[in-house]
Amino acid sequence: MSESTDCDNESCSALEVLDFKNALKQFQKLVEKIVTQKKKERLGWYIKDDDEIDYDEFYRTTQTLFGPEVKEHNVKAFFRKISNNPDARTEWCEIFGYFIRENGATPSHLREENTVFLTSEKQQITYPVVKERDMITSIVKVPHLDFTVTSSQKGVLTIFNNKMKVLATTSVKDTAWINGCDFLTQLKCVVAVTERTIIVWDYTSIGKKGNYFIVKPMENSLLCVCTASVSDQLGEDNILMGDDKGYVNLLKVTSDHFGLKQREGKKESQLRILDSKDFNIVKRKLHDDWVLKVKYISDLNCFGSCSSDSIHSFVLDDIKRLEDNLPVKEFSVPRGVNAFTYCGKAKVIVTGGHDKLLRLWHPYINTRPTGKLSGHQHSIVEIVTNEKDQHVISLSFAKIFIVWDLQTLSMLQVFQDQESPRGIDTLAMVFDNACGTLITGSTVIDIYPLMHMIQDTKQVPKTHEKSINVLAYNRAFHQILTVCSESILKVWDLETGYQIYQIEDAHGLNVEVTCAAIEINGFYLATGACDGTVKIWDFGSGQEVKVLPLTQHSKDEHCLLKLVYLKATESQHVLLVLEQSGKMKIIQGNEIQRYLKVTWVLPEAVLFLQRNPVEFLSLNPDTLQKHEFFPDIQLPPDTSSLSSDAEGFVPSVEMKCFDVLKVEGHSLITTGSENGAIILWDFESATVRYMCKINENSQASVPQASGVNAVLFLMHSASSSRKISSLSSTAIVSSDIDSDTDDLPEHKNSYLNQNKENARSYENSTQITAAEDTFRRRYIQYSKTNAQLPRDVRRYSPILASAHENGCIYLWSVQGNLLKEILPFSKYHPVSLTAICTDISTKMLLAGSKEGHIMCWSIVSFLEDPQNSKNQIKEELCWTAHSAEVIDLFYEEQNNVVVTASVDGSVRLWHAMNGCYLGYFGQPRKFELSDLSRLILPCDVKDVPMIIKEESKHMENKSMPDKDKWKSPTRSHSVLKKDKHVDIIQDFKFFKALSSPKLPRQPLESIETGSKVAGAVFGHLPIHELEKPAEESILQNPKWNKPEMSTLTELTVETELSGEQNQDE
């Protein structure tokens, strides 16, 4: 019976193998067909037919051949691979998740990112830490002061700063060795213990010998020491000490014990010996052997002590148990415990001893350990914790270090200290969580940095090998898109920093991708190239969906500078693109046609008279009904007959950037040019405006405008539609865009509400022709019969922000008025601004510069009422993000981060509130967005972020220059036409650094008051009376009418004025 069963099983397995081989053959034919199809598509030879294989067909066929064991994400990755590179090597096992390794790639468990400490970057510190034939016995980290305290056997105590530079050091003259040290947080002193004495060192004293106190004699030999900071005992430090008889001693000290308060003024160098009988030392026997370590764990409000005793190996309890003799919590370990540590994140205690095992304990369960870690071949002498990464580093007697992961209970790294002399033990070790370094002590101090700290601070961040052309954010999927000048397209996960996929030569071989945009729902991606071609991709799979083929004209004329998604559905795709020639086009495609086509073109330029910066456009009602985005317009009449006009025409513009705002009540397109011209197309009011800010301080003979590098529409957050349209850098979608032609009356309704305001604004400065007047009157009459705009749209009008080559940001109204001029605060000279962005609620405005700086302003109060001069724009933060030009940036609100891209080839991640560097896309390790404990900087950035305080605090005691004295002696036509209400935000940084406050010199009346007998000094001091309060008199002085001077105190003014009056008398 069993033989027949075996035969049946063998026959079934043979059939399964035969079926699988047949499936592999059919799968190979399917792959060959797809590869042939993709190659023809690249060469432009492929003609779409019924036999075309797309991703859906490929997935269905693969599942039919191999069954449900095939996972969709593996099939998608395989299809993306052959789509992007048809010549790539493929294997059938890849659809099951087993991808082949190319170019000799190393296995994952041997890769560099799994190395925790980079031992090759070890640093050593020798003098003056130890004497000759001396060694370190204890190393302690003081987190709140960022100090490191060390002690050596022969009595050298040293304090280091966070850069491991010596702050103070002393040599204690004592015959016994120092066994340990710690820092007294309340007394600001260092405590150390020897066999029979307690040493307290006041490191703030003056002199080489130092000011220290020795408490002796002690009953037992002290082996270890630590301090316990109890929150309800201010001004008092608790010192815990373990001795060779198994006792744990508690000593409470204050400044009165050492007379520190009486000697604060002297601070002379001295040595004082104090009798231990004058101190109340409490001790309790907790172990039957030497107390090797004693520590206070603040997270548990408990102290811990360990011993080689197998019964009372480890004790963990409240510090009060030393005084009341109640039972304590004991942990028993065979052969005792030599060292222990506590991890707050993992909530475990780790112990190690002579049995070579690490045991993990729950703090409140002492019956048995929760886990064991084996790997050491010698006794364990020290254990420390990397709290941030939940790692434990253990050190054995053979000077072998092992790094353990408490989350997976696995061994991460093993390394050995091979440079220290034989016979010299490494007894001290501490982990610096702030700097991410492991500090060990023997005859020298060794510092081992974490691998990712070296990668973050010494390796140049590289996301792409070449400069970045495009940075775009998919808010729906929390993924970012980057494209470099080599046309390598990469998609990254924002929260982890891991790469999801990449596409090479997206538009063909040697065709540079210059721009890209992601539609609002995140399903589609559009890219534009230098040859004028446009492609639409499925963002999830990376599959090409539609294409705008190459035209027959010159590539340079049709090179695309920027594109914006207007609409994206399965049935329709609409894009607005800007060409290098200055033309703006709408490109559309539907579900039937594979190829995109141009459906709308905006005129390249409009001729403006310098005396008339506004032109009214004629609309074609028939074409307006056919197009759902922007109407076809007719340019103004030919102005060639006016060529003899003395004023001449505005020079032609070369467009560099544009932005779109398509919300209810507003249909705007604005462009910025290299010569500083800003063109604003308003399709609601049927007008086109020319705006330009002349650089009055220019040294050129003819004042010129500064070039525009970026433009952006700002809408108040109260307008709910802005939450969608604010994504104009990547997508523009609103309810108006999807509206049908039935909304035509409502569309025309808002034309003339804006026209009324325009007519009032330019009534005195423009001459409107009869035809234009008729056009405007027709729409005014039409608007009276229609409903009004919503209240929030009427109240909050859009603001246009433009970033310029001179380093300024100008804020304009849609009527063409300059509202605000912003000059970023910086200790450097003004540099060109290259990119601007806002958060989704338009509360913050960010800008990037040509030298890699990032600036951040708060604009929420300004957008409430732009006409109110009291609503200021406050700069809050600035930092250096790159060493080269910033090409784009965006603000991500959910994680509160800023992403910047530069021509240096890196895309970096920063915390939005403090400018803290979080990493770069392409780094080996995962992002940790919540951890801000370590302030690190990339290797090419030297300046730390600068948080700008309020003006009155930050600019205190700094004077402002007189603007009238620094006006240009020449008066140009643009200066005379300058709006009076323009508020300029400048810091005049050079004058503030040079000028000093000038006190008002006003005549003062002096009277004598008080009794002369009362005091020999104060009785004769004159008291001066000001006619007005000091602050009021200062503020009324026009030279002092500055906000930052309002914080000068009245006391300072009175004192200095009285001194001047005495000199006059």
**Residue range 207-230, pLDDT digits in tens:** 555 678 899 888 899 999 999 877
- What crossing angle do the helices spanning 2-43 and 72-84 adopt, rounded to 10°? 40
Task: Evaluate the CA torsion angle 851, 857, 863, 865 in order and state its sign.
Answer: negative
The string of pLDDT tens digits covering residues 629-651 is: 777 766 655 544 444 444 445 55
144 SS3 class: coil
DSSP, residue by residue, 129-140: TS-TT--EEEEE
Pairing of strands 270-275, 211-216: parallel
Cα separation, 742 vs 899, in Å, equals 41
Which pLDDT does position 352 carry in this prediction?
A: 96
Residue 806: which of 694, 668, 706, 693 has the closest Cα? 706
Structure tokens at 119: 């031992």
CB atoms under 10 Å from CB of 979, counted, come to: 9
Residues 6+ apart with CB under 8 A from 334: 310, 355
Q: With CA atoms as reference, report the closest residue to 684 among 749, 737, 623, 738.
A: 749
Question: How far is residue 859's CA from residue 715's CA, in Å, rounded to a whole number?
Answer: 11
**φ and ψ of 75, to 5 deg:** -65, -40
Place of tokens 């063909």: 508
The three-point CA angle 925-927-932 to 5° equals 120
Q: What is the CA angle 865-661-531, rounded to 5?
A: 140
Which token pair is 976? 């005379």
Provide CB contacts within 8 A for 370, sequence distance 6+.
348, 360, 361, 362
pLDDT at 642: 43
Closest residue by Cα to residue 293 from 281, 284, 283, 303:
303
Is residue 564 within 8 Å of 528, Cβ to Cβ?
no
Q: Which residues pair with 489 in a beta bridge?
A: 483, 503
Look at residue 608 in the predicted model and tell me its pLDDT: 60
Query: How many beta carbons lie within 10 A of that of residue 67, not counting itself?
Result: 9
Backbone angles phi, psi at 31, to 5 degrees: -65, -40
Task: Concatenate the DSSP letters of all residues of 915-948 into one string.
Answer: --EEEETT-SSPP-TT--SS----TT--SPPEE-
CA–CA distance, 518 with 246 (Å, rounded to integer): 69
Dihedral, 434, 437, 439, 445 alpha carbons, nearest 10: -110
* Strand ranges (E), 786-893: 799-804, 809-813, 818-822, 833-838, 844-849, 853-858, 874-880, 886-892
Are 80 and 541 within 8 A, CB to CB? yes
CB atoms within 10 A of CB 746: 15
In 619-734, alpha helices (H): 621-626, 722-725
Are the C-beta atoms of 315 and 272 separated by less than 8 Å?
no
pLDDT for res 38: 79
Q: What is the pLDDT of residue 979?
A: 44
- Are the C-beta atoms of 387 and 345 separated by less than 8 Å? yes
pLDDT at 653: 63
CA dihedral 927, 931, 932, 934 (to 10 degrees): -80
List the one residue out of 829, 812, 830 whose CA is nearest residue 820.
812
Q: In this structure, what token pair is assigned to residue 10? A: 């063998």
The pLDDT, as a whole number, for residue 229 is 79
CA distances from 331 to 198, 297, 316, 328 (A): 29, 16, 8, 10
CA distance 764 to 261: 77
CA distance 103 to 100: 10
Q: Structure tokens of 400? A: 């072998």
In the chain (1065 residues long), the average pLDDT of successive 10-residue segments reads 50 60 87 84 68 82 84 78 75 69 39 68 76 85 90 90 88 83 91 92 70 87 90 77 94 78 52 85 93 94 94 94 91 94 94 94 92 92 92 92 90 81 72 90 88 68 92 94 94 92 90 93 92 91 87 66 87 88 86 84 64 69 56 59 46 79 87 89 85 66 75 76 38 37 35 37 36 37 34 68 93 90 78 93 93 92 84 88 94 93 94 90 83 75 80 36 43 41 44 44 43 44 47 39 36 36 43
CA nearest 483: which of 562, 578, 589?
562
Residues 989-998: contacts with CB within 8 Å, 24+ apart?
989/825, 989/826, 989/827, 991/959, 991/960, 991/961, 992/955, 992/958, 992/959, 992/960, 993/958, 995/958, 995/959, 995/960, 995/961, 996/959, 997/957, 997/958, 997/959, 997/1045, 997/1048, 998/959, 998/1039, 998/1040
632 phi and psi, to 5 degrees?
Answer: -75, 135
